[in-house]
Structure 1
Amino acid sequence: MEVPWTRDVPTAGSPVWERLARLVDQRGLLLHGSRTPGLATLEPAAPLDRGPDVYSKSTAVFATEDPTWAMGYALRDESCLRLLNACFHPLAADGSWGPRRIFLSYARPASGTPPLSRGVVYAVPRGPFTRMPPHDDPALGSIVECQWIATDPVPVMVEIVVEPLDMPFAVRTHDHDRVSAAMDADPSGFPWLDA
């Protein structure tokens, strides 16, 4: 299924992005983006998720193998009222994984400036985590999301500060009120960008 509002994930970036990628590729760690620095342990929490799947609503620690997606959460400024996002591999009919795709869109503040500010990405051990199973998404088709959960507290291995300039592409923004109205009218209409 062709999904025009997603893009190929970056394969290179700033020195910070490259360090995050190496933590995944060479050390087998996962990444968790946060606005809160200085944590030694990540605690399970219930996310605010309007998606159709139950897995994304788990009370858990969430992590990913994708540096850009982790950074997307870390860089979300506290003024941002909503982050629409996805990171996944499309699944072919034979079950093979296609190239990873990503989508990030931040609710635009009155200034019109993308609502990004300094955050942190935590690298955590993969062992306690379980990957979200493949599923059929109404907007994306058959996919494997780059989302992992752990239902118990997870120790932090590495903490890395990230800045908006570390984001490897210009981020998309949307009108919060229009998207909120579209979500209320059609909860399964992700990503609601036609609003």
Structure 2
Amino acid sequence: MVSPFWPSPAPTTGGEVWSRLANLVERQDLLLHGSRIAGLTELSPQSPIDHSPDDFSKRTAVFATEDPSWAIAYAIKTNECRSFLNACFYPGTEARSTHERRLFLSYAANVDGTSPTGPGVVYAVPRSAFVRMPTERDPTFGVITECQWASTAAVPVIAEARVTPEDLPAVARLHDHESVQDRVAAEPHGFPWMEQPAESGA
């Protein structure tokens, strides 16, 4: 059974790097893109591997977000990570206060049970080049507004910040890749395809 309470409130504070990224979004009208490749001056559209039911997430594009934690989570994901379950959204029909954001992160654990994370980089890009994903209806939460934006054209890099797993203020879960793949095959629209933790008995 998948827990209906899978997202948590997104962090509204963080360390020095997180705070710098948040300021770029709030004060300079920029968005954030996490990457494993440092030193880029322009970001080009890419075709994502995505199991979401919507077409927006599958388009060939540059994707970005206003949420620093979500961008950092993508930046620190290693190439060896076999799957990454994630979501970031506001309940309702519009983007509201940062305190209302909800975030979910889960990496497929490495074979040895460790987290597939390492150093990465977050790029700041001009918000004017992007469009926000349309509001949609989630089967559990009703109408939601996602913190996901896309540009089908290349975009210039305005700033960059090197990040490490220690810069992520959110708690990322670990899941078994094979088990999740079986659930995706059985129920493609069953995100996040994770079992609810067993309740402790008295």
2:175 maps to 174
Greater shift, 96-105 or 179-188, is seen at 96-105
2:138 maps to 137
Q: Which runs of 5+ in 1 are unaligned?
A: none
Q: Which residue identity lines up with residue 77 of structure 1 in the other structure?
A: T
Q: Give the distance between the partners of 2:35 and 2:141, measured in 1 at CA.
A: 26
2:18 maps to 17
2:184 partner SS: helix
Q: Give the distance between the partners of 2:152 and 2:162, measured in 1 at CA.
A: 25
CA contact (8 A) 1:31 1:64 kept: yes
Identity %: 51
Query: 1:160–1:117: structure 2 CA closer, same or farther, 3 Å change rule?
Result: same
1:69 maps to 70
Between the two proteins, the alignment pairs up a number of residues equal to 192
1:4 partner SS: coil
CA offset digits 1:97-138 (Å, max 9, x no partner): 571100000001122121110000000011110011111123
> Normalising by structure 1, what TM-score?
0.94
**RMSD (Å) for aligned C-alpha atoms:** 1.7
CA contact (8 A) 2:105 2:171 kept: no
Q: Which runs of 5+ in 2 are unaligned?
A: 197-202
2:113 maps to 112
1:188 maps to 189
2:200 maps to none
Q: Give the distance between the partners of 2:82 and 2:158, measured in 1 at CA.
A: 30
2:73 partner SS: helix
CA contact (8 A) 2:18 2:69 kept: yes
Q: Which residue identity lines up with residue 85 of structure 1 in the other structure?
A: N
Q: Give the distance between the partners of 1:48 and 1:127, measured in 2 at CA.
A: 25
1:11 partner SS: coil
Deviating above 4 A after TM superposition, structure 1's stretches of 4 or more consecutive aligned residues are 95-98
Q: Which residue identity lines up with residue 25 of structure 1 in the other structure?
A: E
